[in-house]
Each structure stands twice: as C-alpha cells, then as structure tokens.
Structure 1
C-alpha cells in the first residue's frame, strides 16, 4: 500500500523508507504545506505521515482511502482529531521518543540561567571578568524547581532536577493538589506552583485550555527572581507578555526552545534580551531520539494498514480498542 510523508524537514527519510519497504509498502515523500497540497500529495494513500502540515476535516473528506495518520512527535495540534475519528482513521503519535532528550534540554536551559552561564560567556568574550551582571547566584539546594505538567517528560524533568539538589514541586490537572506522586513529587495548586517556583518548567500539551496559559497575570505572580523554561509548545506562552516581563524585570530570565512563530524572526525582540536563553526547537533532538522517532512513526501506520494495533494511538476506539 501507499504511504505518503506529506511534509518533513529532516535531512533524509531513509529510516522511514526502510521500515515501509520491509513491510512491503511503497513510500512517497512530498513537501506539502497547505490543505490543497496535502490532498494532492496523499491521493490514494492508505496512510500518511505528517510533521507540520494541516490535517483538517476537508483533507479527511478528500482522502477516502486513508486508514492511518502518523504524526512526527508528541503533539498533534495541527490535526483535527474529531474529524479524523469520525472518518475512522487511526491517529498515531510517538509520545515517548524524546522523553530523556527534552527533559535533559529543559534542565540545560534552567541551569544555564541559574548559573549565569550564557551571560558570563558573552561577557568573557568581550574581555569582561565581573560577576555583577549575574548576581545573585544561588546554590541549587536552596531553590524550588516547579514542574507544570507531570506527564512522562515533566516527571523525567522533576526526577533529574531533584537529583541536582533542587526542591521539586509540581502541578498537573489530573492530580489532586496536596498529594505526592509515586515518584515523590509534592503537588500544588496552579497558583501555589507559580508563586513558589524559582524555576518554572512547562510540560503541557497545546490545546484550548493551555493556549497562552502563561500570560501577563501569571508572570506577575511569579517571583521576580524566577526563571521560566519552555520546551513544550510555543503558544502555551504569551510571547509579548514574556518580552515585557523580561524587559521590566518582572521575572529574572527565560529559557525558551519553542516559539509561537518558528523559525524565530531575526528581528524578534527576544533576541535582544540578555536574560533570555534561546534554542531553535532543538530539545527533542539526539541521534538516538531522531532515529527512534523516524522508525516508530512509520511502524505505527504500517501496523494499522496491516491490520494490527499500533504501539501508540490517540483514538483507539477507531480500531475497537478499549
């Protein structure tokens, strides 16, 4: 059967092709960005793999032979899940391929801010040896590391932060505030987490409830010495509000790997702020996670079109899976 990668910005798709061909299927690679381009590229496909292209109700209505959709990564905010399910199409993701990598990156951003690494490096390159720009620095054992969202990545981040000596607290809407997770993380209300955290690391999906969850009011409720870390989805944070908070000293700094507009424009005001540490949506990446993502996304759709249950599925009711 025909499997179409409708869009992918990776250097190559050899891993995906190997999985598809080993299962006896034909893989086609396209570069679709719009609904019309997706529809044209995926005509007669039994399955598609998507990175950023929109998968809308109109797309589903135009692809009657489609049985499975594989999404590169954890999130699926560009996919109309209701329409996919109504059309009997299995939606598969790879939710845990980058758990270690994203949590590592969240810690890297947090530590670079907590120890002033980026600002000290820039000053040293200018021939400056003064600690004043990064004072006061504090040892980790006296700081509170707050984790918003205690799913797989949030839990891994909490575990690693605790290993470095931070006092870790968390919030997750699925957990009762005041309880402790099986891994030993004390839970707080959302407001308590915001107020207590010296470092606030975000690990939530992007949906109607979390869009601009971190806004001007939330930033104002944080400690002025606190750092904000975002490695989940750019639109969870109101970017304009973060810029203003950094400019005004409402918070001490931000480590951001994801943005509302990607790639980040070269004239974006964040790039001029010395208290912002920025990376280009790189948290997911390691050689190991890269290979695992590419292999498993195709394995999932191959399983569906071959009549088997995939490893990871958002709408299992489509296949009659409880």
Structure 2
C-alpha cells in the first residue's frame, strides 16, 4: 500500500461523520487522523507526525504546536480562536485559519430568540405550565419591546447581523466596542459603563481573551438594572458564573440566557443552571444543516490551501506569511 502524501489531525468534531472532510482531503492525497482522546499529551504525540491540524473545541496548546515537525496549517473549525496558541504558531511560521462567517445568521437568530424568550418570559411560563401551573400572573415585569433597550458588547459580524433584526422589532439598540467603530451601521456606540446602566438586555458578542475574561464580573453586574437580562452566545469565559449567581440571588438581575459556559460542558446540577430565571441551551447557537456544511467545507478548503503552500483564505496571523 502506497504512503499518503499528507496526514491531517482532526482533534474533535461536533458532527457524527467525516465524509465531507475525507472527500475534500482525498483530492490532495491527504489522510484524516482522529485521536481517541483530546488531552494535551495525546495531541502532542500525534501532532509530531502530521502536516495539518483541524480543531473544533480541543485546545491546541503551545506544547502541541511545539511538537509539530512539519505542520503547514492549523485550522479552527469555528470562529473564535481562544483554543489555539496563535502566538506559538506564528513563531513557528505556521498559518492559522478560521471560518469567520459560517454561522453569523444562526447565532444572531439564536441571540434574538433568547432575548424574546426573556422579554416575554416564555421559558418561565413553559416550565411552570409543564409543572401543572396555569397562571399568567406568575411572571412580573413584562414590558413592550419598543420601550426597551438592547446593549451589545462587541460589534463584529454577528452583532451587526443582529442589529437590523432588533430594530425591526422596535427595540432601541446601542453597542460598545474598544474601537468605537459602528462599521457604517449608524448604531449608537457608547461606553461600557453607559451600556450597562441603560440596557434592559445586555447581549455579549465579544471574543474571549485575557482582557475580556470575566468581563462581566460582580462590579459590572452591579452596574446593570435589577430588571435587566444578560444574554451570552459568544464565549462562556466572558462571564464570572459565581458573580452571576450572586447577582440573581440578591435580586440585582432579572435573569440570564446562556448558550456558552465556563467550563464546557457545565455542571448542570449547579443552582445557577437549575434556576427558572436562567435559560440554558447546549452551545447550540451555531448549528443548522447549512452552517455545519459550510463550516466543514470551508475549513477543509483552507487545510488544502495550507498543505499546497497557498495562502489560506482566512489567515489570522499574516505575520507568519511575510517571510515566505
């Protein structure tokens, strides 16, 4: 049996098969390798002898990248890059790619759905009714949407996709981002302090980094209205879960809707996730048949580009390409 030209490590995946990946890779005589575990030691061992790495949620740490002897590209099967040591990859001259637009529509729809569920207390009524309680007076604080304000922290592709959907419902919208850029949308850009103080819904759309880890902490939660809701479809690490639970217990927050967690998966036995004021979905915002298909094709295309020493479409560390 002839040896293959390339070997590609796929650390993990959120779908049941690898037919799409294998079909694309076979065109360049590349073999797909899947590990039995995703701990660092296992990935370090396998990464030594592969030509590319594709990762969904598994951590591609400095140690994993340092062990690579011939890796030509690392591809994120997703948007966020907090599980890949980009600095180490750049130092090693390894291109890193992502798929920045594959689920923009789905995540913005999911954020909107969570917001509406909070605003109309749909999950609350559903849970109570399923338990046999038929009481429309059980909920408090229902307000007309056109009287309410949404504050978006972060203003990337997903937040900008969400903006017109919110405005179509009559909601007032403001956003905060370090650059203050509205990207030509006309959205009102404000300071973080102003956003927290004025918003009835705070929706998180920021990347996770050392600067944004636990961005929503005890002091920031105290700045929010006690009638406000916190929505997170971005990264779990943006919120301090202990501080969030304390805010709910003390009545400083009306509720929360979470699709992402720290850690993932979370311990669903914790009081925070069992509380009827908290909506919980299992990191599902990105999922649709179309988005997953696009993601898999897009990521593998960029793997092939890297294997053939072509500049990948979504190169996130261009400094590694300058010396080529």
Partner in structure 2 of residue 195 of structure 1: 197
Question: 55-64 vs 206-215, which deviates more?
Answer: 55-64
Summarize the alignment of residues 43-122 of structure 1 with structure 2, pairs less than 5 Å apart: 43-122=48-127
TM-score w.r.t. structure 2 length? 0.94
Partner in structure 1 of residue 165 of structure 2: 160
CA positional deviation for 1:184: 1.9
CA positional deviation for 1:163: 1.4
Question: 37-46 vs 292-301, which deviates more?
Answer: 37-46
* Counterpart selection for 1:228 from 199, 221, 230: 230
Is the 8 Å Cα contact of residues 9 and 33 (structure 2) preserved in structure 1? yes
Is the 8 Å Cα contact of residues 153 and 206 (structure 2) preserved in structure 1? yes
Secondary structure, in 3 states, of the residue corresponding to 2:188?
coil
TM-score w.r.t. structure 1 length? 0.95
CA positional deviation for 1:119: 1.0
Cα separation, 2, equivalents of 1:7 and 1:69: 13
Moved over 4 A (4+): none
* Counterpart selection for 1:186 from 180, 185, 188: 188
- 5+ unaligned residues in a row in structure 2: which ranges? 1-5
CA positional deviation for 1:224: 0.8
Partner in structure 2 of residue 304 of structure 1: 306
Matched residue count: 319
Partner in structure 1 of residue 3 of structure 2: none
Q: 1:59 to 1:123 in 2, by over 3 A?
A: closer
CA RMSD of aligned residues (A): 1.6
Deviations 1:142-162 (A, max 9, x none): 110111100101111222111
Deviations 1:202-252 (A, max 9, x none): 000110110000011111110111110001110100001111111221111
Question: 225-234 vs 11-20, which deviates more?
Answer: 11-20
Cα separation, 1, equivalents of 2:113 and 2:213: 25
Cα separation, 2, equivalents of 1:150 and 1:259: 20
